Chain A
Amino acid sequence: MGERIIECSDGRIKMRTCAWSPPGDHPVGCGMYLTVEDGKVVKVEGDPQHPITNGRLCVRCLTLPEYMYNEKRIIHPMYRDPKDRGKDVWEEISWDQALDIIVEKWTAIKDKWGRESIVTFQGTGREPALYHSSLTYAVLGSPNAVFPMSGDSCYGPRCSVADFLLGAGYPEMDYAQFLEGRYDDPQYELPKYIILWGKDPLFSNPDGFFGHSLIDLMKRGSKFITIDPRITWISARSEYALQLRPGTDAALGIGMLQVIINEGLYDSEFVEKWTFGFEELKQRVNEYTLEEIEEITTVAKEDIIAVARIYAQNSPSAIMWGLAVDTNSNGTQVGHTIMSLIAITGNFDIPGGNTLSVPASFMGKWRYECANLLEPEIRKKMIGLERYPGFQAAHVVAHPDLVLDALETGDPYELKMAWFFGSNMLANTSNAQPKRWYEALRKMEFNVGQDLFMTPTAMALYDVFLPVATFAEHEGVVLPHFGRNTHMVSAMNKCVDVGECKSDLEICFWIGKRLNPDAWPWETIADFFTQQIQPVMGITFEDLQDEGWHMNAFEYRKYEKGLLRPDGAQGFNTPTGLIELESSLYEDWGEDPLPYFAENILTPFSRPDLAEEFPLIMTTGGRETTSFHSEHRQIKSLRRLMPDPLVQINPETAIQYGISNGDWVAIENPFGRAIEKALITEIIKPGIIHAQHGWWYPEQDGEEPNLFGVWKSTINSLIPHKAIGKLGFGSPYKNVMCKIYKVDSLDS
């Protein structure tokens, strides 16, 4: 391992750190050295010693100095009178003043409307995702911490399904991430096949998985199968690329299960010993014919059979299940079929299969303990608890769609104060129907937010703007999979200061110390982290800073060793102690215990009455290397690689609608409209389009009504509110009907 700090002969110093947005992406923790000269970061270099990334860095971290020292960055706390929301009339204030204002407003609002009238929002998997709910419960005393994406359609649904059916954390593919010797470790076996199901990890680095690990595996001989409406770079190198109709994944999963079960290709010993409900599952998947499934999914029956056989007959193989599982009101069932496929083929927790872990280790424990600090009467008021008990069973957060309902109607009670944690929710991943959120949130008594740039969300809504530090400017830890299957923990080491920016955690610390010091007993940030990691890893935060990263101990086949249950018994931490192919929980929550296919609510099949006017299907959310959702739009070196929002259209469809490459195109349905630029490409089938998300234009006028052009390309405006599954999960972000037509400009 290299030195933490290297003094160079020219007087500059190089400091080692690991990355997590802001800026960058999910908690991957790529290792790097930052060269510091006169108190400024002047250079970024990958750290070849890092066991996962080996020095590789993507363009988002390579342009870090441009982000840190961007002329548009907000580096002092600011205040604006609530009556001036939407106007660029900010007043610079001190941190003390900012905290005083927050404490005064919080006190007045909780005294008048109750603590439950405070709601806090997290965005995507940036660092504050770890801290925002703890602050809400333990300090602000409100039960309403929320991720405002309709149906909580990111990660939460998959983690919940894994928790319900396996009693385990997120089952990540085994890419030797836990092993000291990595791919050469004697314990390791290469997955023979990797199925990428609704997932394109190369540039999304999902939840802390380093996407280009797939290239490592490809070089070593793993083969690929992709299940994706689009052809991806990996599909082009796959043995099979199943281009299913968006949103029909559960039908495909049922078809594959049927083939494997009926042909007797499953691991009968594993099924016998470790699963519950096999006969019931068998019966259910036989209620569909493969011909029907071919018709629903548009995937040829022969291909379904071939892929099912390949997966079952090539152990070990792994399935990576992606966001497409979550962005689907039938997604709970998609996850159910995928977990069942891995289970009946015996691919759980074996080398080269899908790893298991105990959920909620590390920060998870603290976060749950913080929820227990809520006064019981207040906790009962968590929005959605009664309506969707299953929703809150595995992750304690308020229900996003019902929070919008409460904001609009005052039912079950009025919400008066909002706090935004690094979430540009009007532009972005979060929320269907962003204009409704905007209208509702601008009526709040008081809004505070923490971010790095003046985003449309900040300009429209904040009263107090708290400037946040990048990962290069604070101490922290990177936690892949947010503690739900964490292979290693890395240190973020502070290298420099920029302005008066503070980390999300430092801000939470200050507020906690003022409002509830008993719940916030640590003297320093380092003490806090030591308390979090020492019980699991036996080292202090300072040790971690010196080591750089610490790989967690790992054992395969934990279910045989009593390592998945708190009582130390063999098996799984579910009500039956087994993997539940038939859920023993779902019926209590009003859900079918077995998987089924259901159309999402806004497709040409569920709404034939609208099919003539809106004949196309829009899918969204695909990622580019040049931005992390709406982050990075103001970084010139990145923006010139991706200057405009693109909508991908098949050549046949483009001809049909008279659209040429580079034309501006309006995308419209009964709920909303967005304008993007046409990219004509064969990677998408006729009749389906893919529209980029997270666009706003930092170069444009920021004041209302323009708000940096955020309403021009807001594809989330086409997504219906509360079109979710029975457990409260999953909204059709990737499959709604629409029409397209050529327009003159972005402003049409």
Chain B
Amino acid sequence: MKDYAMIIDYKYCTGCHACEVTCQNEHNFNENEWGIKLTEHGPTKFESGWVWNYVPVPSKLCDLCVEKTSDGSPVPCVLHCLGQCMQVVPVKELADILPALGEEVAVFIP
């Protein structure tokens, strides 16, 4: 298993596609291969109100940029994310980080 995980605080994900495009640029993947891809729920109206959520899902191609960032440089998708709602963190620290983020949060170990 990977040592790192990606957290998406998706209540702030606006579906801007910056993560998808950055990741493609960084890795020169084929046109139809993505390190991360957006999913969308809604927009639709529940009785309790509107639901309009995006959650980007990293694919198997995502290596969490572990090598790339070993020199301390930022993870490209995390840097550019317009919602500032992405983090790449050690799996071991998840339990400490998650409580502060509240609801509508996803964790991926791609």
Q: Is B58 part of the contact surface with A, judged by Cβ < 8 Å?
A: no
Give the segment of B38-46, B59-67, B91-99 that binds chain A: B38-46
Alpha-carbon distance between A233 and B13 when the two chains are bound, in angstroms? 10
Min C-beta distance of A628 to chain B, whole Å: 14
Residues of B within 8 A of A218 (CB): 12
Which residues of A, 657-685, contact B by the 8 Å Cβ criterion?
Answer: 681-683
Per-residue CB proximity of A640-672 to B under 8 Å, as 1/0?
Answer: 110000000000000000000000000000000
Residue among A48, A57, A681 making CB contact with B74, cutoff 8 Å: A48
Q: Are A55 and B82 in contact (CB under 8 A)?
A: no
Interface membership of B87, Cβ < 8 A = no
Which residues in A have their C-beta under 8 angstroms from that of B12? 215, 218-219
A184 to chain B, nearest CB (A): 16
For residue A681, which residues in chain B have a CB less than 8 angstroms away from its CB? 43
Q: Is the CB of B14 within 8 A of A215?
A: yes
Min distance, Cβ A176 to any Cβ of chain B, angstroms: 16
| Docked-complex contact A641 and B43, CB < 8 angstroms | no
Residue picked from B31, B45, B49, B82, most chain A C-beta under 10 Å: B82
Q: Does the CB pair A56–B50 fall under 8 Å?
A: no
- Which of B12, B15, B18, B24 counts the most A-chain CB atoms under 10 A from its CB? B18
Residues on the A chain within 8 Å of B22, using CB? 62
B21 within 8 A of A: yes
Q: State which of B17, B79, B82 has its C-beta within 8 Å of the C-beta of A215.
A: B82
- Contact-size category for A: 20 to 34
Contacts of A219 in B (CB 8 A): 12
Are A62 and B50 neighbours in the complex by a CB distance under 8 Å? no
Closest CB-CB distance, B55 to chain A, in whole Å? 14
How far does the Cβ of B13 sit from chain A's closest Cβ, in whole Å? 9
Cα-based distance from A55 to B83 in the complex (angstroms)? 11
Tell me how many residue pairs across A and B have CB atoms closer than 8 Å: 81
Identify which of B11, B52, B76 gathers the most chain A CB atoms within 10 Å of its CB: B52
Q: Are A46 and B79 in contact (CB under 8 A)?
A: yes
Q: Is A212 an interface residue (CB 8 A)?
A: yes
- Complex contact A63–B21 (CB within 8 A): yes
The answer, among A57, A215, A216, A640, for a CB contact under 8 Å with B18, is A57
Q: Are B43 and A212 in contact (CB under 8 A)?
A: no
Tell me whether A625 is interfacial, beta carbon within 8 Å: yes
Please determine whether B52 and A62 come into contact, CB atoms closer than 8 angstroms: no
Q: Which of A215-252 contact B (CB under 8 A)?
A: 215-216, 218-219, 231, 233, 235-237, 241
Determine whether the beta carbon of B52 is less than 8 Å from that of A56: no
B25 at interface by CB-CB < 8 Å: yes
Question: Would A241 and B50 count as touching, CB distance under 8 A?
Answer: yes
* Interface size grouping (class) on chain B: 20 to 34
Q: With the chains together, A237 CA to B51 CA distance in Å?
A: 8
Contact (Cβ within 8 A) B52 A236? yes
A640 to B20 CA separation, bound complex (whole angstroms): 12
Contacts A56-B84, A59-B18, A62-B18: A235 and B79 contacting too (C-beta < 8 A)?
Answer: no
Instruction: Tell me which residues from 70 to 110 in chain B have a Cβ below 8 Å from any Cβ of chain A.
Output: 74, 76, 79-84
- A47-63 vs B, Cβ < 8 Å mask (1 yes, 0 no): 01000001111110011
In the assembled complex, the Cα of A302 lies from the Cα of B52 at a distance in Å of 25
Q: Does the CB pair B45–A233 fall under 8 Å?
A: no
Query: Quick one: given A45-B79, A55-B74, A58-B82, are A233 and B14 in contact (CB under 8 Å)?
Result: yes
Assess whether A43 is in contact with B25, with CB atoms less than 8 Å apart. yes
| CB-defined contacts of A640 to chain B, threshold 8 Å | 31
Nearest-neighbour CB distance to chain A for B33, whole angstroms, equals 13
Check A54 against B84 for contact (C-beta < 8 Å): yes
Given A58-B82, A212-B83, A202 contacting B50 (CB threshold 8 A): no
Contact of A46 with B80 in the complex, beta carbons under 8 Å: yes
Determine the distance from Cα of A625 to Cα of B82 in the docked complex, in whole angstroms.
11
Within 8 Å by CB of B83, from A46, A48, A215, A641, lies: A215
Please name all residues of chain A whose beta carbon is closer than 8 Å to the beta carbon of B14 when the two chains form the complex: 202, 212, 215, 233
Please pick, from B15, B76, B82, the residue contacting A56 in the complex, using a CB distance under 8 A. B82
In the complex, chain A residues whose CB is within 8 Å of the CB of B42: 236
Cβ of A637 < 8 Å from any Cβ of B? Answer: yes
Q: Which residues of A contact B81 (CB under 8 A)?
A: 56
Q: How far is the CA of A176 from the CA of B79 in the complex (A)?
A: 22
**A388 within 8 A of partner (CB):** no
Query: Which of A48, A58, A231, A683 is B16 in contact with, Cβ under 8 Å?
Result: A58
Q: Does A586 contact B (CB under 8 A)?
A: no
A203 on interface, CB distance cutoff 8 Å? yes
Q: Nearest CB to that of A218 among chain B residues?
A: B12
B20 to chain A, nearest CB (A): 8
* Complex Cα gap A641–B16 (Å): 11
Known contacts A57-B80, A682-B45: A233-B18 contact under CB 8 Å: no
- Chain B residues lying within 8 Å of A45, measured Cβ to Cβ, are 76, 79
Q: Once bound together, how far apart are the Cα atoms of A47 and B92, in whole Å?
A: 29
Assuming A236-B49, A236-B50, what are 10 further A-B pairs, CB within 8 angstroms?
A46-B80, A55-B74, A56-B79, A58-B18, A62-B18, A203-B16, A215-B83, A236-B43, A626-B17, A637-B21
* 6 A–B contacts, CB within 8 A, in A order: A44-B25, A45-B76, A202-B16, A212-B84, A218-B12, A233-B52
Residues of A participating in the B interface, judged by any CB pair closer than 8 Å: 43-46, 48, 54-59, 62-63, 202-203, 212, 215-216, 218-219, 231, 233, 235-237, 241, 625-626, 637, 640-641, 681-683
- 7 A-B pairs closest in CB distance: A236-B50, A236-B52, A212-B82, A59-B21, A57-B80, A55-B79, A62-B21
